[in-house]
């Protein structure tokens, strides 16, 4: 994909979220099932709790020998593309005895922070546009290094491979040594019903928007059968995830890699990395 097409897809996605922000947020209130496993690892490796992870999916045994902190009940969390802060709400409910500090990044100023009793530092940043600037993404964050850096449901909106790589690298750079990076990879083509629907809306969008054919795994998805409303999404496969994880092998250790979410329990692949 060339830069020009990528920039247009970025604009289409930004316009999508501007037009359907309220209705989209209404469908994004419940925690993701995969967060439960993420929480177990955060508790064990960042808060020093005696959580037995040996029976959890995809956990690398060597990573259980040390923790991020091992003492205290404070945790700083950086959330890239935070949406309506439901991950922050989830952690606040799950860790009532922990002093949480959140650094949340998105370009939706309507985000409601009043329901969280912990500190929430919000930065308005159009991440997709920021990736096109001649400045490393991590240098554009107005946040200190954190114990945990995460991004859920966003990487599939990034069209260019090199920008996906930069986004993952920026999360590593935003994390304290010994801390955790958590990222999800959407795999909607692995679901027969979603794949069929994606094929239909994608064909419609290419014709309506007069776009060229996109790369493998790239689709334009609709929203509640609303005419002319599309967003760009990429469905990841194992090889792509392997490549992205491998590119960070000199900076991180894989703590866990597992699938969760959706009716099938396989819509997202989670990658949890420990920063060296």
Strand ordering across the sheet containing 74-80: 119-124, 99-106, 74-80, 146-151, 175-186, 268-275, 252-260
Burial of 202: CB neighbours in 10 Å, binned 0-12, 13-18, 19+: buried
Across the chain, mean pLDDT equals 89
109 and 156, same domain (yes or no):
yes
Tokens of 116: 């969280």
- Does 203 share its domain with 106? no
- Same domain as 128, residue 65: yes
As a whole number of angstroms, the distance between CA 127 and CA 112 comes to: 19
What are the tens digits of pLDDT across the range 62-77? 544 444 554 458 999 9
Do 195 and 105 lie in a common domain?
Answer: no
pLDDT above 60: residue 251: yes
pLDDT over 80 (residue 21)? no
Contact (Cβ atoms closer than 8 angstroms) between residue 221 and residue 201? yes
Task: Identify the band that residue 49 occupies on the pLDDT scale cut at 50, 70 and 90.
Answer: confident
Residues 62 and 165 in one domain: yes
In this structure, what CATH number is given to the domain that contains residue 107?
Answer: 3.40.50.150
Residues 56 and 169 in one domain: yes
Phi-psi region of 83 (alpha: psi -120 to 50; beta: other; left: phi over 0): left
Q: Measured between alpha carbons, how far is 34 from 70 in angstroms, rounded to an integer? A: 24
Please give the tally of structural domains in the chain: 2
pLDDT tens per residue across span 142-169: 999 999 999 999 999 999 999 999 999 9
Q: What is the CA radius of gyration of the chain?
A: 18
Same domain, 207 and 270: no
pLDDT on residue 193: 94
As given in the structure block, the two tokens for residue 99 are 């002093």
**From 30-39, 65-74, 106-115, the region with the lowest mean pLDDT:** 65-74
Nearest CA to 224 out of 193, 199, 201 is that of: 201
Bridge partners, residue 67, by sequence? none
Q: Give the separation between CA 31 and CA 61, rounded to whole angstroms.
A: 27
The residue to which tokens 């930065």 are assigned: 123
In this structure, the answer to whether residues 205 and 182 fall within a common structural domain is: no
Give pLDDT tens digits for 178-232. 999 999 999 999 999 999 999 999 999 999 999 999 999 999 999 887 888 899 9
Whether residues 86 and 180 fall in one domain:
yes
2: Cβ contacts below 8 Å, ≥ 6 apart: none
Contacts of 12 (CB under 8 A, 6+ apart): 209, 220, 230, 231, 232
pLDDT at 26: 62
Residues 17 and 81 in one domain: no
Same-domain pairing of 39 and 152: yes
The span from the CA of 68 to the CA of 180, in Å, is: 8
**Could you tell me the residue range of the domain that residue 56 belongs to?**
31-187+240-275
Whether 145 and 37 share a structural domain: yes
Give 120-130 pLDDT, tens digit per residue. Answer: 999 999 999 99
């Amino acid at each position: 994909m060339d830069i020009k097409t990528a920039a247009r897809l970025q604009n289409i996605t930004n316009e999508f979220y501007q037009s359907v922000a309220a209705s989209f947020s209404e469908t994004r209130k419940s925690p993701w099932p995969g967060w439960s496993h993420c929480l177990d690892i955060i508790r064990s490796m960042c808060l020093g709790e005696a959580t037995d992870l040996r029976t959890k999916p995809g956990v690398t045994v060597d990573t259980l020998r040390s923790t991020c902190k091992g003492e205290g009940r404070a945790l700083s969390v950086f959330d890239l593309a935070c949406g309506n802060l439901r991950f922050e709400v989830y952690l606040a409910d799950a860790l009532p005895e922990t002093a949480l500090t959140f650094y949340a990044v998105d370009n939706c100023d309507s985000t409601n922070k009043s329901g969280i009793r912990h500190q929430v530092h919000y930065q308005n940043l159009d991440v997709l546009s920021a990736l096109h600037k001649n400045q490393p993404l991590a240098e554009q964050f107005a946040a200190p290094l954190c114990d945990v850096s995460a991004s859920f449901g966003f990487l599939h909106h990034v069209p260019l491979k090199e920008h996906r790589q930069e986004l993952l690298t920026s999360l590593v750079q935003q994390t304290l040594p010994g801390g955790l990076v958590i990222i999800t990879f959407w795999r909607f083509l692995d679901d027969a019903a979603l794949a069929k629907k994606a094929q239909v809306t994608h064909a419609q969008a290419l014709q309506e928007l007069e776009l060229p054919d996109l790369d493998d795994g790239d689709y334009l998805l609709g929203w509640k059968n609303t005419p002319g409303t599309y967003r760009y999404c990429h469905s990841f496969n194992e090889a792509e995830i392997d490549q992205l994880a491998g590119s960070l092998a000199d900076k991180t250790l894989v703590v866990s890699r597992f699938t969760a979410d959706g009716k099938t329990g396989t819509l997202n692949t989670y990658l949890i990395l420990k920063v060296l």
